[in-house]
A and B are shown apart, each in its own frame.
Chain A
Amino acid sequence: MKIVRKFRRKPIIPINSMSDIAFLLLIFIMLISLINYRREVKINYAEAEFQEVTQSENNLEIWINAPGHLFVKGAEVSLNALEQIIATSVVENPDVRIHILADRDTPYKHVNSVMEILKLLQHRIISLVVKETGSS
């Protein structure tokens, strides 16, 4: 008896639509990044020569503009509200790094008021965010 040899079909991965998938992936990741993107407040950064990376895994940014208004995640907050926000953040994550991003012309008393809250809450490590001298 003649045995007919079965020809095995070569497995093919359909890659015709791969570029579509990659493109959709690109759009998806870009949108997710934009959602997580930090809301910046328009300030003129203070400048310094010597600086280090102060970014941590968990961060809370407190923005202070030139007139001394406080902002967290793009929304203006009062000192009392800020105290609540910091307390909540610290309770949720004790390792949260608190960054102060103040305008170069902000009177120091406004920065000091934030530091006083941090001292009151016994949160001792803070980051003063600055830009490198000459970079704008």
Chain B
Amino acid sequence: MTVKRKSKKHLDIANSGALSDLAFLLIIFFIVVAVFNINKGFILLLPKKDSVKIINVNDIIKVTLKDDGTLLYENKTILLSELERIVKDTLSLYPNMTLLLSIYPEVPYQQVVHIVDLVRKLNVENFSFAMAGEKT
């Protein structure tokens, strides 16, 4: 009787799927790390120190953000939605409108972000902000 010798099958790592699994894990890892490191927000252009800009009085909207988060416009307390309407109306009349925001020192940062968000939403090109007591 002839005994058939079993030929040992050559193990092919490349075709076993292990490499593709590793490559897949590597890709997932890099995607996750890349997503975590991306900052999103607003890019703002700060004015030059002591720079002066001449603006038409009609183009200016002065708003004050108080410590408790209330908004003051022409000495009246307004809501953010009302400010949105005022800015929209003024922009339609005066396209070069400038929004001057005076911010009290203790205002929570989130309140300021709400205003910047609104400015971005309404495409207000001229926006200036400063802490109350400083020159805007």
**Shortest CB–CB separation between residue B119 and chain A, in angstroms?**
9
**Which residues of B are found within 8 Å of A49, using beta-carbon distances?**
117, 121
Asked if B109 and A127 sit within 8 Å, CB to CB, the answer is: no
A48 in contact with B39 (CB, 8 Å): no
Chain A residues with Cβ below 8 Å from B18 are: 19, 22
Within 8 Å of chain A (Cβ to Cβ): is B38?
A: yes
Q: Which residues of A contact B25 (CB under 8 A)?
A: 26
Number of interface residues of B (CB under 8 A): 44
Q: A15-B14, A33-B33, A54-B40 are contacts. A108–B105 as well, Cβ < 8 Å?
A: yes
Task: Tell me whether B42 and A54 are in contact (CB under 8 A).
Answer: yes
- Name the residue of chain A whose CB is nearest to the CB of B51: A119
Given A26-B26, A29-B26, A119-B47, also A99-B19 (CB < 8 A): no
Q: Assess whether B68 is interfacial by the CB under 8 Å rule.
A: no
Residue B1 lies at the interface, judged by CB distance under 8 Å to chain A: no
Q: Is the CB of A129 within 8 A of B109?
A: no
| Docked CA distance A96–B46 (Å) | 15
B42 A48 Cβ-Cβ under 8 A:
yes
Q: Which of A2-10, A77-85, A87-95, A109-117 contacts B (4 or more CB under 8 A)?
A: A109-117
What per-residue 1/0 map shows which CB atoms of B1-26 lie under 8 Å from chain A?
00000000001111000110011011
Q: Taking chain A's interface residues, is the majority helix, strand, or loop, or is none over half, making it mixed? A: mixed
Within 8 A of B (CB), among A39-91: 46-55, 59, 61, 64
In chain B, positions 21-58 with a C-beta closer than 8 Å to chain A are 22-23, 25-26, 29-30, 33, 37-49
Q: Is B85 an interface residue when CB atoms closer than 8 A count as contact?
A: no
Quick one: given A125-B45, A130-B41, A130-B42, are A107 and B110 in contact (CB under 8 Å)? no
Tell me if A109 and B105 are in contact (CB < 8 A). Answer: yes
A–B pairs, 28, beta carbons within 8 Å: A16-B11, A19-B13, A19-B22, A22-B22, A48-B42, A48-B120, A49-B121, A50-B120, A51-B41, A51-B120, A52-B40, A54-B40, A55-B38, A59-B39, A64-B109, A99-B39, A104-B109, A108-B111, A108-B112, A108-B131, A109-B106, A112-B131, A119-B47, A124-B48, A128-B113, A130-B41, A130-B42, A132-B40
Give 10 closest A-B pairs by Cβ, nearest first.
A109-B105, A104-B110, A48-B117, A46-B113, A129-B41, A130-B41, A50-B120, A108-B107, A106-B109, A51-B40
